Chains A and B, each alone.
Chain A
Amino acid sequence: MNQNIYVVIEHLRGQVAEISYVMLAGARELAKGLGGNVIAVLLGHKAQELAGNPSASSGKYLAADSVLYIDHPALADFTSDAYQKALTNLIAKDQPRAVLFGSTSIGTDLASTLSIKLGLPMVSSTRSFSADGKFVSQICGGKIMAEGGLPSPTALVTMVPGGYKAEQGQSTQAPAITQVEVPVLESLRVTLANYIEPESGDVDIAKEPVLVSVGRGIQNQDNIILAEDLAKALGGAVSGSRPVIDQGWLATSRLVGKSGKSVKPKIYLALGISGAPEHVEGITTSDTIIAINTDPAAPIFGVAKYGSEIDMFDLIEILTEKVKQSKGG
């Protein structure tokens, strides 16, 4: 075992995912305390440029001391079977102090299974680390935090965003890249058939100046109209949390959060949304968040600038009326 921190870089269709930078920042914090290096692990096919070139959006590089690159046609797009096989060999051979994965569609397909396969301990939903080797994870929809020492010998960790800014994991210098031997990737049981592009909705919620966003607290489809009236009066649109979309009360294009869109309105008015981490992930870029929620312990109040514990059904129509009056007068 050594004190190096490995970060499995996530990328999707030629773009490094933001969580990769967040993980590099977390890894740096750990490595500083432990005296190890931060090593990015990149799997792909003809994807070396993802580490060798600066990112198109930030103009920056992965803030790693070095990059281990594994190239194979079967790794071109993420599939759990091929990625797992490739990582099993690498982790078993190198025995780093920790391997960080995103708590994402990619990372969660890998970390737990590798924990069993390699007999290594794991921690999930980790938000931050401290230099003395502790992790802090977030559970119960963001209501509870759990802290502990990074388990030994090699800890497999899935990370959520929120603890570090992506910029902290970006650097102006290109890291050195080492190509790693390709494992045998045969008889794969999971293969990519194709991608299906997101449905484009009637409005792009990422571009709206005001969002009236509804959560499970809206209770049923008939009440959506209340939010629509308010949104119209404010010159914005209606968006929603995952349960509202899963119930079919709003179109998928209106989903805010981890599996939906990140939004950046001037005002994000959250009605009956608890503020689970998967939702909050998509709203932190809003200018001002205002939350209406009857539960004083709702995590949404931790990210909102203004809040009220009032029942939304006592408020919405009066508010819509006052907004209309204010515009008229």
Chain B
Amino acid sequence: MNIAILVKLVPDLVEELTIDTSGVALDTAWLRLIINEFDDHAIEQGILLKERGGGQVTVVAPDIEGVDDVLFTAAAKGADRLIKIKGDFTGVNNHALARAFTTVVKELQPDLILTGVQANNDLDGSVGPLLAGCLEMPYVGYISGVSLTEGKSKVRKEYPGGLIAEMDVTLPAVLGIQAAEQPPRYVAVSKVRQMMKTSTIEERAESGLDMAGGPTIGRMFQAEAGQRATMLTGSPDEVATKLVGIFKELGVL
């Protein structure tokens, strides 16, 4: 089983986000980029499948600051091949990214393609189903479990309220991972450093980043809270006292 996992980097939401002077994009100067957390789950799911049934796992990512770390971390978790797509991906939308991934995936000819179900900066759909469109493969998202048999996969697709639909998906297919069957494993920094010495990142050139299919943004702005919460300040003791007052007022104490 040949598994390709496509990852992208997204803004770390813990950091302060600001809009740049154009008014239509995030200010990238201060932006800290991290792996999309659902892509991290896709990596975990891919490695679990390899551990269970054998095969080769290839992780592919666009050349964005921080990508080497992401790829070497994947190698430390058990990925066999690492591929970086070279090019200027600043401000590139998912349509262009999916097209760039398509070229590499066609070369790899995987049986199964995994990617995170969505990413926090998606504005033109998500990479997985766009890629499936480019490759004319089936796509199923919101996945929290995958098992493989010859030429087929059985997936657990999530619906609201904890309802699961088990679906049979003919391979090759693209799956949008919501959660791996177990939390993404932790790897020690020392192991990642070791990978930097022992594994290599293959490079591919992007073949023209075509953004057609995404919207044009006229204005980007901070979500200003409509009615912002009444903020309780003071020492922990004072805040706790105020909260108890509120609990009483609301009749739960």
Contacts and interface: CB of A to CB of B under 8 A. Distances in A.
B217 A259 contact: no
Interface of A: 12, 17, 77-81, 104-105, 108-117, 119-125, 134-135, 137-151, 155-156, 158, 189-199, 209-210, 234-236, 242-243, 246-248, 252-253, 255, 258-261, 266-267, 274, 287-291, 295, 297, 299, 301-310, 314-315, 318-319, 321-323, 326-327
Given A115-B130, A301-B225, A259 B158 contact: yes
B215 A123 contact: yes
A116 B123 contact: no
Nearest to A314: B236
Given A139-B123, A191-B168, A195-B164, A105 B221 contact: no
B247 A111 contact: no
Interface in B208-236: 212-223, 225-226, 228-233, 236
Given A112-B126, A116-B130, A124-B123, A319 B243 contact: yes
A100 B74 CA distance: 37
A125 B170 contact: no
Interface of B: 11, 13-14, 16-17, 19, 24, 26, 37, 41, 94-95, 98, 117-118, 120-126, 128-130, 132-134, 138-142, 154, 156-170, 173, 176, 178-179, 182-183, 212-223, 225-226, 228-233, 236-237, 239-241, 243-244, 246-248, 250-253
A141 B13 contact: yes
B215 A148 contact: yes
Contacts of A191: 167-168
B220 A310 contact: no
B183 A247 contact: yes
B215 A193 contact: no
Contacts of B176: 108-109
B139 A260 contact: no
Given A246-B41, A305-B230, A319-B244, 9 more contacts: A116-B130, A122-B124, A151-B215, A192-B167, A196-B156, A247-B183, A248-B182, A308-B233, A319-B243
